[in-house]
Structure 1
Amino acid sequence: MNDADQANPAASQPIVVWDGAPKLQNPLLLVAFEGWFDAGECATGALSWMRRRSEARRVCRIDPEEFFDFQESRPHIEIADEGQRRIRWPEIECHVVPAAPPHDLVLLSGVEPRMRWRAFCEGVVDIASRLGCELVVTLGAMVAGVAHSRAASVKASAQNGDLANRLGLDRPTYQGPTGIIGTLHDTLDRASLPVVSLRVGVPHYVAGPPNPKGMRALLARFETVTGVSTGYRELDSSVQAWEQRVDEAVARDPEIVAYIEQLEADADRAAAENLPSGDDLALEFQRFLAEQRQLGLDNPESGESA
């Protein structure tokens, strides 16, 4: 133990607490955090959806002690069925979902950490590396000037130029203050782990959770890009019911109705964008990962030096 660890005993505690590290088939890591970048709980809701509809099992968790201000993100007291009291701390857990070939999925989600972002992001890299994840996908949702009655638009970007060109993704252009997702992307880039960002726009006049339409849009775009089935069409009835509730609520205010009509017109003008077919995108995605695997075989020490 060095002097810094002696001064701060908690620093010697592991960031990632493992239940086990199974051998997985070409896994992809999906990440979403509750908080500022999760309007309508679309991102964490999408991961919860995949977790609920599969035989997911937890493989590890990130210890919350070093990453939260518990006066801000307070733990909750719960009463168990047998009458015992227990404290539920803010959680960031990682589950494995056996998916259809060729990929298993690793789902990391929970409350957005408040402190020590660099150390936290190194913990995420540790999870991705130990489980052999080939690529990371971050999910997010932001309030935007979009209409609830039109298709939810998902923006997708990747820093890796080859990956972005093949899949028709944007390259990041934002400069300015960032959050945990931006910090994580930087850490993954420096660790030479390819990462894709998917983020959906949520109507600012109805940004509260749940928002099944935003969830469905994120799941659909992820499936289109990777070819991994998410079952997003099973959310269609929930989306229809949500749209009907919003229609009924906004109909009482003529000013909001007029504003939404303007948003609908804007969306219709932008709908002319032509995207590659899902099959084409998934094929290019698999080719990219196959080439990355071959590079790893040709350069077995590249992962250690990254």
Structure 2
Amino acid sequence: MTLITWVDESPRKRPALVAAFTGWNDAGDAASGALAWLASRWDTTEVATLDPEPFYDFADTRPRLHLEDDGSRSLIWPSNDLIAATVTGAETPDGAETELALLVGTEPQLKWRTFAQQIVDMAQRLDSPLVVTLGALLADVPHTRPTPIYGSSDNPEMAAQLGLTPSSYEGPTGIVGVLHNACANAGLHTASLWAAVPGYASEIPSPKASLALVRRLGTLLDISPDTSELEEMAEGYERHVSELAEQADETSDYIAELESAYDREAEENGEIEEMRSTDPTEFVDQIEQFLRDQRS
């Protein structure tokens, strides 16, 4: 059974499929924000959309009424839209045109296996060589330092080739984990990138974490998007969070402790770059705790 509506059935150039889902695996809106920002700067074409009816409890994830310019109203349902994005010019290594498939989605409440299979069907129809998911979690990290990024792949050979860490996580998972499992069962290569967002700023969208994800994704896919606009947004975010923290002594003291710990690690292990390869054991522990907290 297919629940996909194909809007544009033109032949595609085997694009990598990059997916991000709003919901609990999107701390600070960092993952969905990264993908939405990329989609906004490239030429895009709507390719397909997924019927939301089987996958959402609309009493929980409610549709929204939108007032049009002419005064009429329209309903906006939870969406999972697949778009094709064309990357060219200075953003590619040799200036050649590169195509990506971007899936900006909403984590479902129902029928996860069916949901994941629909995305697998999309990837197979596009003949995608790689499916990449973006995520973000809350962690004990300071907003004033580079954002840690953790990368993993279920394929050990691909993990070694891309400089990622093979995933060894066991425990409860979200739609990202279910999707990776479905892709693996279908023989599709997968990779996952997670950004760490400060837990004390959980309610504030983090363009800084989005920037870190965009940069790491660029390294992964061999593209170089101009991130100057996102960098300005990240600087504004850092200033805003700092101003809020100054109003609470306990928060300021806590941030100072996180900064000291970060700087000690940098001094002991060398310069910590935004796209560094983090200690997989430490970061997976944080992911496990994050998943347990979300389940609670």
Query: Relative contact order, CA 8 A, sep 6+: which one is greater?
Result: 2
- Find the aligned partners of 1:18 and 1:209 in 2 and give their Cα distance: 35
Residue 85 in structure 1 maps to residue 73 in structure 2: yes
- Find the aligned partners of 1:268 and 1:25 in 2 and give their Cα distance: 44
- Find the aligned partners of 1:154 and 1:135 in 2 and give their Cα distance: 19
- Find the aligned partners of 1:275 and 1:31 in 2 and give their Cα distance: 27
Residue 122 in structure 1 maps to residue 110 in structure 2: no
RMSD, aligned CA: 2.0
For the pair shown, the structure with the greater C-alpha radius of gyration is 1
What are the ranges of 5 or more consecutive residues in structure 1 without an aligned counterpart? 1-11, 279-306
- Find the aligned partners of 1:167 and 1:156 in 2 and give their Cα distance: 9
Normalising by structure 1, we get a TM-score of: 0.82
Query: Hey, what does 1:72 align to over in structure 2?
Result: 60
Match of 1:219 among 214, 219, 222: 214
- Find the aligned partners of 1:105 and 1:275 in 2 and give their Cα distance: 30
- Find the aligned partners of 1:270 and 1:31 in 2 and give their Cα distance: 32
Residue 35 in structure 1 maps to residue 28 in structure 2: no
Query: Hey, what does 2:162 align to over in structure 1?
Result: 167
Deviates most, 246-255 or 52-61: 246-255
Query: Hey, what does 2:283 align to over in structure 1?
Result: none
Query: Hey, what does 1:250 align to over in structure 2?
Result: 245
- Find the aligned partners of 1:59 and 1:243 in 2 and give their Cα distance: 36
Q: Percent identity?
A: 37
Query: Hey, what does 1:236 align to over in structure 2?
Result: 231
- Find the aligned partners of 2:55 and 2:86 in 1 and give their Cα distance: 29
Letter in 1 for 2:24: W
Query: Hey, what does 2:35 align to over in structure 1?
Result: 47
Structure 1 residues 161 and 228 mapped into 2: Cα distance closer, same or farther (>3 Å)?
A: same
Letter in 2 for 1:195: T
- Find the aligned partners of 2:227 and 2:158 in 1 and give their Cα distance: 24
CA displacement, residues 2-45 of structure 1 (integer Å, 9 cap, x when unaligned)? xxxxxxxxxx5x31111022222231100000000001111111
- Find the aligned partners of 1:164 and 1:253 in 2 and give their Cα distance: 42
Deviates most, 264-273 or 57-66: 264-273
CA contact (8 A) 2:18 2:103 kept: yes
- Find the aligned partners of 1:255 and 1:85 in 2 and give their Cα distance: 46
CA-CA distance at 1:157 after TM superposition: 0.3
Match of 1:143 among 138, 145, 170: 138
1:17-32 matches, within 5 Å, as 17-32=5-20
Match of 2:205 among 207, 210, 216: 210
- Find the aligned partners of 1:270 and 1:188 in 2 and give their Cα distance: 36
CA-CA distance at 1:270 after TM superposition: 3.3
Partner of 1:17: helix, strand, or coil? Answer: strand
CA contact (8 A) 1:25 1:102 kept: no
Query: Hey, what does 1:113 align to over in structure 2?
Result: 108
Letter in 1 for 2:166: R
CA contact (8 A) 1:200 1:218 kept: yes
- Find the aligned partners of 1:102 and 1:58 in 2 and give their Cα distance: 18
Letter in 2 for 1:235: L
Structure 1 residues 209 and 107 mapped into 2: Cα distance closer, same or farther (>3 Å)?
A: farther
Aligned length, in residue pairs: 266
Deviates most, 179-188 or 219-228: 219-228
Query: Hey, what does 1:156 align to over in structure 2?
Result: 151
Letter in 2 for 1:197: S
Deviates most, 57-66 or 70-79: 70-79
Letter in 2 for 1:249: L
Match of 2:190 among 195, 201, 209: 195
CA contact (8 A) 1:30 1:108 kept: yes
CA displacement, residues 109-152 of structure 1 (integer Å, 9 cap, x when unaligned)? 12111110101111001111111211011000011100000000
CA contact (8 A) 1:21 1:130 kept: no
Partner of 2:147: helix, strand, or coil? Answer: coil
CA-CA distance at 1:274 after TM superposition: 7.9
CA contact (8 A) 1:216 1:233 kept: no
- Find the aligned partners of 1:32 and 1:114 in 2 and give their Cα distance: 16
